[in-house]
Amino acid sequence: MTILDERPPTARAFTAILGRDLVVTGRELPSFLAQVLLQPLFMLFVFGKLLADLGYVGRGFGNILLPGIIALNAFIGGLQNTALPLTLDFSFSREIEDRLLSPLPTRLVAMEKIVFGTIRGVVAGVVMIPLGLVILPDTVLAPASLLPALAVMALGAFVGSAVGMVVGTAVSPRGINVVFTVVLTPLMFTGATQFPWPSLDRLPWFQIVCAVNPLTYVSEGMRAVMVPQIPHLPLWLCLLVLAVAGAVAAEAGMRGFGRRAVD
Amino acid sequence: MNAVEVENLTKKYPGAPQSAVDSLSFQVSSGEVFGVLGPNGAGKTTTVGVLTTRMRPTGGLARVGGVDVAKEPTRVRRLLGVVPQRNNLDRSLSIRQNLLFHAAYHGVRRAERRQRAAELLERMGLAERGDDRLDNVSGGQAQRVMIARALMHEPQVLFLDEPSTGLDPQSRIFVHECVRELKDRGVTVVLTTHQMDEAAKLCDRVAIVDRGKLLALDAPAALVRELPGSTTLTLSLEFAESAESAAEDVNAALTAVETVERVEAMPGGRVRLYTSREPGEILPAVLKALAGHGISLTGLDVAQLGLEDVFLRLTGRELR
């Protein structure tokens, strides 16, 4: 009867489950990187480099675009990497069942998925910094902006991952394709990634639409720390909105997860 | 001590007209092999789902190892192992990693889990395949991996949901040997099945359930014994002349024998008698009843009904 005397190994179980996800990601690194890098690389190249070289957009546009694309990659990276595997896990593969039968409260199994999605989102955002600087060599980033940028990225990826859990547990696998198009496309284009939010005051209705999108606060927060010379929302406001949005989405996502995990 | 206790367990899915499990009660003693037998949709998987913390009961009580599954699911999960009906192995991992990570989720230390994984792979005949991915394993091999995985944290109670459905005979026999070995080691086994021979062969006691209700609960042999007319005598008869009227006479005469519960005419001049008595006990009366009808007895076949007959008697024959 040794096993009952011990306290439930919550911390060890959580670490083991996270460890499993990291081991699998490490093995599938090339396909993971291709998945998160190709689209933003082309966006940077076409909008930041090609259109600038052809004279259709101003030279300084790269300064606006790069922080936005990093924010987009971290946020969408977190969202996709949580939502897609979850829909599969709860329908076809059922691989998650072994973790649902581990001695870890179901909420913490859900929390692990959000943490893991956040890590993938941060990786997706971080690798964009050197690549962006190679594609857009004229970009001037604030020195010493790396650490605060990491913090904004992590918070952004966390919100994305939590939203991903809401989507992944609310949508059936048959509907996931449609939902991804219907949810992701507007999120990507109303998130102030390709334009600074304050400059939208000439288009107030669109400014309001963008203000509802949490991605806007990731993009603006990234600009606040990386290119402070460009008009942006105050950093404290971005962090506050992201913290609240993250907490609300995480709670909703964990509840959705609980409903799917236990009948 | 009871390894599993179920009291008035009820589970109703939202929107379903009937309860999937309806006031079910039973106990499983520690070290017992317990079978839950029932047709598809009887509530077997739902019962196991509640006991393994994957479903919330609507009413009643369920305990595993004395711990309430609804109140303390995380504690219960340490006491039980589950071999599900469907393959849910982690396809991103190798066979050995499936075992190692499972043990890690349960907090088993590194050195310990390596050793256990090696032992279990050996026992399951998978020692050579430990580092293979799961893409090319057969149904029988996947089943063995799932059993090995479930045993990695040394559970006190092992739940096997339809353990041999879809397996080839070799794999089925292997699973059966596994269950016996676990019993010898003192592990309680709860298995669901709709295969009678499996239940009769493996289980100390069998609960027959249908539509969420318990219909019978006893040792397989006792269930058969209690069935009325559980012994059959098949008589092969040769009629001298005017077969039709003679056959009717014989039927009437045999039906008149007190210890014969039912008479069934069979093709080829054969007659089947159902009785609860010993065959030797009723034969004299049967022979006496046949005398004087111009019939000669050319053959006699004695048989016992099986668990399948008990099952069909209790749950009916219609398809669902």
Domain boundaries, chain A: 10-261
Q: CA-to-CA distance for A196 and A223, rounded, in angstroms?
A: 8
Closest-CA residue of B relative to A21 is B92
- Above 50 in pLDDT, residue B211? yes
Q: What is the mean pLDDT of residues B277-301?
A: 82
Q: Is the pLDDT of residue B313 over 80?
A: no
pLDDT at B167: 83
pLDDT, mean of residues A33-56: 91
Percent of chain B with pLDDT over 90: 41
pLDDT at A2 over 60: no
As a whole number, mean pLDDT of residues B226-243 equals 75
**pLDDT for residue B292 is more than 80:** no
- Res B243: pLDDT: 58
Token pair belonging to A261: 């995990």
| A9 shares contact with chain B (CB less than 8 Å) | yes
Q: How many CA atoms lie within 13 A of A51 on its CB side?
A: 14
pLDDT at B119: 93
A127 token code pair: 């690798």
Q: Are A15 and B110 in contact (CB under 8 A)?
A: no
Q: Which residue ranges form the domains of chain B, and what is each CATH number?
A: 2-225 (3.40.50.300), 228-304 (3.30.70.100)
Q: Cβ contact (<8 Å) for B54 and A27?
A: no
- The residue in chain A having the minimum alpha-carbon distance to the alpha carbon of residue B54 is A262
Of A16, A24, A99, the CB nearest to B92: A24
**Chain A contacts of B64, Cβ < 8 Å?**
none
Mean pLDDT of all residues in B243-270 = 78
d(CA B49, CA B30) in angstroms, rounded, equals 20
* pLDDT exceeds cutoff 80 at A143: no
pLDDT digits (tens, 9 = 90+) for B96-149: 999 999 999 999 999 999 999 999 999 888 888 888 888 888 888 899 999 999
**pLDDT bucket at B51, cuts 50 / 70 / 90:** very high
Torsion angle, CA of A220/A222/A226/A229, rounded to 10 degrees?
0
b or e along A163-183 (b: 16 or more beta carbons within 10 Å of the residue's beta carbon)? bbbbbbbbbeeeebeebbeeb
Least confident of A15-19, A162-166, B161-165, B206-210: B161-165
Mean of the pLDDT values across residues B26-44? Answer: 90
Task: Give A114 to chain B, closest Cα distance, Å.
Answer: 18
What pLDDT band is residue A3 in, cutting at 50, 70 and 90? very low
- The C-alpha of A101 sits at a distance from chain B's nearest C-alpha, in angstroms, of 6
Q: Which residues pair with B302 in a beta bridge?
A: B233
**Among all chains, which residue has been given the structure tokens 């004395």?**
B66
pLDDT for A5 beyond 50: no
Check pLDDT > 90 for residue B304: no
User: Please, what is the Cα angle at B165 between B162 and B171, to 5 degrees?
Assistant: 110
| Contact (Cβ atoms closer than 8 angstroms) between residue A67 and residue A128 | no
Angle at A221 between CA A218 and CA A222, to 5 degrees: 85
Query: What type of residue sits at position B277?
Result: R
β-pairing, B231-239 with B262-266?
unpaired
Residue whose pair of structure tokens reads 């109303």 in the numeric block: A190
| pLDDT band at residue B29 under the 50/70/90 scheme | very high
Which CB contacts under 8 angstroms, 24+ apart, belong to B281-286? B282/B233, B282/B257, B283/B233, B285/B257, B285/B258, B285/B259, B286/B233, B286/B235, B286/B254, B286/B257, B286/B260
CA distance B273 to B318: 24
Q: Say what the pLDDT of residue A59 is.
A: 80
What phi, psi does A57 have (nearest 5°)? -125, 160
* Predicted pLDDT at A4: 44
Contact B86 A8 (CB under 8 A): no
User: Does an H or E element contain A190, and which?
Assistant: none
Q: B31 in the Ramachandran plot: left (φ > 0), alpha (ψ -120 to 50) or beta? A: left
Chain A nearest-CA distance from B205, in A, is 26
Task: Spell out a b/e string for B76-115, using b for 16 or more CB atoms within 10 Å of the CB, else e.
Answer: bbbbbbbbbeebbbbebbebbbbbbbbbbbbbbeeeebee
Say if A95 is an interface residue toward chain B (CB within 8 Å): yes
Section B53-73 average pLDDT? 92
Q: What mean pLDDT value characterizes chain B?
A: 86
User: What is the number of other CB atoms lying within 10 angstroms of the CB of residue A160?
Assistant: 36
- pLDDT of the residue at A8: 64
Of B65, B75, B90, nearest to A8 by CB-CB distance is B75
Contact assignment for A105 to B74 by CB distance below 8 Å: yes
Q: Which residues contact A261 (CB under 8 A, 6 or more apart)?
A: A90, A96, A100, A106, A109, A110, B54
pLDDT at B255: 82
First CA to last CA distance, chain A = 30
pLDDT over 90 at B10, yes or no: yes
Residue B279 has pLDDT above 70, yes or no: yes
Q: What is the pLDDT of residues A172-193, one digit of tens each?
A: 878 888 888 888 899 999 999 9
CA distances from A137 to A42, A47, A50 (A): 16, 14, 13
Lowest mean pLDDT across A7-11, A58-62, B230-234: A7-11
DSSP β-bridge partners for residue B295: B239
pLDDT category at A105 given cuts 50, 70, 90 is very high
Band (pLDDT 50/70/90 cuts) for residue B320 is: low
Quickly list DSSP for chain A. Answer: -HHHHSPP-HHHHHHHHHHHHHHHHHHTHHHHHHHHHHHHHHHIIIIIIIHHHTTSS-TTHHHHHHHHHHHHHHHHHHHHHHHHHHHHIIIII-TTHHHHTSSS-HHHHHHHHHHHHHHHHHHHHHTHHHHHHHH-TT--PPTT-HHHHHHHHHHHHHHHHHHHHHHHHHS-TTTHHHHHHHHHHHHHHSSSSSS-GGGGGGSHHHHHHHHH-HHHHHHHHHHHHH-TTS----HHHHHHHHHHHHHHHHHHHHHHHHHHH--
Question: What residue of B is the nearest CA neighbor of A17?
Answer: B105
- Determine, for residues A12 and B92 on separate chains, whether the beta-carbon distance falls below 8 Å: no
Averaged pLDDT for residues A228-244? 94
Band of the pLDDT at A89, cuts 50, 70, 90? confident
Q: Which of A259, A224, A248, A204 is nearest to A114 (CA)?
A: A248
Q: How far is CA B44 from the centre of its chain?
A: 11
